[in-house]
């Protein structure tokens, strides 16, 4: 786990007020992050991501549809760089593409995700932004796609990380800069317990 973790207090406060815990280790934040979006909170979180990755050279933001799109677009807007979202279904109009398989913890199923070779290029310096980090499966898929493209994955930003699942530990041990705005240590007995700084 990152020693320098500092919770983003406006998000932690909002999760305490409006987040809901469901059985099976699921944190429901659909009233302000991934179904209905609070644009003011989204902007504040995106500014925080820009601050945390300020030392990195970034020329593209990447995410996987659908819940990562809103924060990725806001970060791309603030950095004035394009946003590429990896698709869960291959469009009939996509010719050359990179693809890999990703398992979704929330949906409990595997997806083949793809990205057009037109939009992810050799030498790109990409920042991955997503809503949740649990087992790290989406991130592993992004790692694979960037390797296929010979692009450089300069960091990963997550709104919420579940530290009781192993994704964050794995990615940090692999040497990636992982920035999570709120880290949940436990959802046992449907009690939301945050990692302190």
Q: Which residues are annotated as a binding site for xanthine?
A: 27, 34, 162
- Which is nearest to 128 in space by CA: 112, 139, 120, 144? 139
Q: Which residues are annotated as a binding site?
A: 27, 34, 134-138, 162
Contact criterion met (CB below 8 Å) for 161 and 183:
yes
For residue 174, give every residue at least 6 positions away whose Cβ sits within 8 Å of its Cβ, in sequence order, or none: 143
Q: Which residues are annotated as a binding site for 5-phospho-alpha-D-ribose 1-diphosphate?
A: 134-138
The H-or-E segment that residue 155 falls in is strand 152-162
Two tokens, residue 48: 């925080």
Rounded to whole angstroms, how far apart are CA atoms 86 and 185? 29
Contact criterion met (CB below 8 Å) for 148 and 141:
no
Cα diameter, the chain:
48
């Amino acid at each position: 786990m990152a020693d320098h973790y500092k919770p983003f207090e406006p998000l932690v406060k909002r999760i305490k007020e409006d987040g809901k815990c469901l059985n099976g280790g699921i944190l429901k934040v659909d009233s302000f992050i991934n179904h209905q979006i609070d644009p003011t909170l989204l902007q504040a979180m995106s500014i925080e991501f820009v601050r945390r990755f300020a030392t990195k050279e970034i020329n593209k933001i990447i995410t996987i549809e659908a819940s990562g799109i809103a924060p990725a677009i806001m970060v791309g807007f603030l950095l004035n760089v394009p946003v590429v979202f990896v698709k869960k279904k291959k469009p009939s109009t996509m010719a050359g593409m990179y693809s890999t398989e990703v398992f979704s913890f929330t949906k409990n199923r595997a997806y083949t995700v793809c990205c057009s070779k037109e939009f992810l290029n050799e030498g790109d310096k990409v920042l991955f932004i997503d809503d949740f980090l649990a087992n790290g499966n989406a991130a592993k898929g992004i790692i694979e796609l960037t390797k296929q493209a010979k692009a450089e994955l300069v960091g990963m930003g997550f709104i919420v990380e579940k530290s009781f699942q192993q994704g964050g530990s794995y990615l940090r041990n692999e040497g990636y800069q992982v920035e999570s705005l709120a880290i949940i240590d436990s959802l046992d007995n449907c009690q939301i317990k945050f990692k302190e700084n």
